[in-house]
């Protein structure tokens, strides 16, 4: 199991880095275009963009490297999507709360949220999506 957790952290770290890079690129591009700090709603929309890019990295990395699953894409992909969407709803809610009620930078808030949701994603992926 240690090896699987290590692989999950590697793949998840890559997916999280992808997610964060997209969010930061979008927020900063919008800031450069308008000059003002984008509001929370814009940052939440950028978070959706980051999720949409990172979910593919996460699915294929976890399916092939972390869990070495042979389950068909027809079965695994919908299950993974359900887990990913559940994680995103939690992600978006926690991200909103941190943006709204703390003075944390959006980058730090997102980093904390991605880490918090990772444990749930691992458990559901291991026990349901890619279970043997």
Residue 81 domain boundaries: 2-129
The pLDDT assigned to 40 comes to 96
49-57: average pLDDT:
97
Decide: 87 and 120 in contact? Cβ < 8 Å: yes
The pLDDT assigned to 36 comes to 80
3-state secondary structure 43-86: HHHHHHHHHHHHHHHHHHHHHHHHCCCCCCHHHHHHHHHHHHHH
56-65: average pLDDT:
95
Question: Average pLDDT of the chain?
Answer: 95
With cut-offs at 50, 70 and 90, classify the pLDDT of residue 56: very high
Say whether pTM exceeds 0.75.
yes
Alpha-carbon Rg for the chain, nearest whole angstrom, is: 15
Element (H, E) at 127: none
Considering its fold, how many domains does the chain have in total? Answer: 1
**Both tokens of residue 18?**
């992808």
pLDDT digits (tens, 9 = 90+) for 7-43: 999 999 999 999 999 999 999 999 887 778 899 999 9
Place of tokens 């291991």: 126
114-125: average pLDDT:
94
pLDDT digits (tens, 9 = 90+) for 68-108: 999 999 999 999 999 999 999 999 999 999 999 999 999 99
């Amino acid at each position: 199991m240690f090896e699987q957790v290590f692989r999950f952290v590697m793949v998840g770290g890559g997916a999280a880095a992808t997610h964060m890079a997209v969010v930061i690129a979008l927020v900063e591009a919008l800031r450069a275009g308008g000059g003002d700090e984008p509001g929370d709603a814009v940052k939440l929309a950028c978070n959706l963009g980051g999720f949409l890019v990172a979910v593919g990295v996460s699915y294929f990395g976890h399916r092939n490297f972390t869990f070495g699953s042979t389950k068909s894409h027809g079965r695994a992909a919908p299950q993974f999507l359900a887990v990913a969407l559940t994680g995103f709803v939690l992600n978006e809610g926690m991200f909103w709360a941190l943006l709204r009620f703390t003075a944390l930078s959006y980058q730090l808030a997102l980093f904390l949220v991605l880490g918090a949701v990772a444990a749930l994603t691992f458990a559901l992926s291991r026990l349901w999506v890619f279970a043997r």
